Structure 1
């Protein structure tokens, strides 16, 4: 059924208290906003414009949309939210905190933007995503998202049959190596000072995965673009066209500290994310979290699904609150009649 609500100007903010503010305009945030807007909820998305997958050429593994450039996918999502009356505002959230609840106890929140704008909302959806922290190897960061990758499901097909090197950072690199072995016969594991027991060495040898224990000093760029290989601490040059590295994944939490949302560490020191329950619920009434901010390994499809589920649960929670408020008002009218 086509939307009948007329979308307001792209970034014009509604007045008063809105049903929901969504912090983050990626797949999770836009999907949550879409569900809420289609339920005729007033919703505002605050989008910083810095999605995690910005360096990628295309979104992969998303049925029906495989290969779509990330920027194009997000622009489609923004227009869909606006089509149903939602607002998408470019901006940076510098503060979010609980405010005094309504007279009947319904939660209230204040969200402050870097330009001084203050938004007031009944519910919040945190969909800020995460940032990937790379090992401090000279020359590595410049090729992130192109010749330096982390996910075989996101980038694997595109780097198949290339000479690939895995830069080990911890236990997660072992699993990563076995996955990338499916994509190429020419794979080198650079231990980088991490411990590799004899059983793992035997397994790697059985799969023809070469092991280099000498530390990597720098990533060497190729003249025509991309990388040519790595320079080791002993001066040797090892040609590689692709490097895979497990990043440290940290949920973007700046400006959200006053909400008091619980955080949780990933195993092996691989990052930190928001702790959530079913459908993205949190210990803070009225606040949900969806996407990479709580599920660091989720691809675009999973993040979008999580955002949609959170949005549906938020709408149900609002519907219950609306009913309780209406009942209380009706009872007051009877009392004062």
Structure 2
């Protein structure tokens, strides 16, 4: 019986001895209390405490933590939006006592400050400005949190606005506006491209017409120069200008007939094309030239007579009027 009691005592003594030792993980702090009163803060490593008298009151995580806060608020134009604010914070290693004893629910405290700041800043801005100035809102949240939470031993590392979600109807309206703007820009670009193509085509056609006209003018100039040379050569052999011109026209007539006959697939018919046509054409042209010369001479004589009548000196009844040499009396 005595041996059993001894074994029990040894067993409880061993349990007490083992309970005297405890370990603290890295990036963790342990609060030790004695009879309910704060005793010490233990950092990472192996530690010893008095069994039954001392106890571990709590463990504080010294790592950086993140708290996501979802807030619903409205903008200046009364558009409701949901915002997700991510707060990254940690316990200051030198202020573990304040973090453990002064603040019981740090997450709730941080959430309250985030709500307060966001609902004070966002109603001042329009919806577009909320998207553009979300960094300014995040900075305001961080500044307010730091001022409040440092007292409780918490350091705010960063605040990020990770999502801005307007009401579904507002989102659809914004999408329609953006789509309309893009369609408008696309239409403007297409119209500008079409205008450029039209202008370029018009310039190309104008240049083509100019070159074509220049080519035709050069061709006619060379034809006229060749005709002049041909007439000069025929004049040297005793053929006058009218006969030479008629001969050249008849020659071109037969050259045209020869060119048409050379193309077996041509459907062109030149009328008249009989052997008598060349002779008739020559006679008609000679007669036309003669008649034209006669008409021209008649017109020339008529113009000369009118000029003479205009400059003829009239007779005056008054003998005392003395005409000056070369004076024209109207």
Q: TM-score range with shorter-chain normalisation?
A: under 0.3
Q: Give the structure with the higher percent strand.
A: 1
Q: Which has the higher contact order (CA 8 A, sep 6+)?
A: 1
Q: Comparing both structures, which one devotes a greater share of its residues to helix?
A: 2
TM-score (norm 1): 0.20
Q: Which has the larger radius of gyration?
A: 2
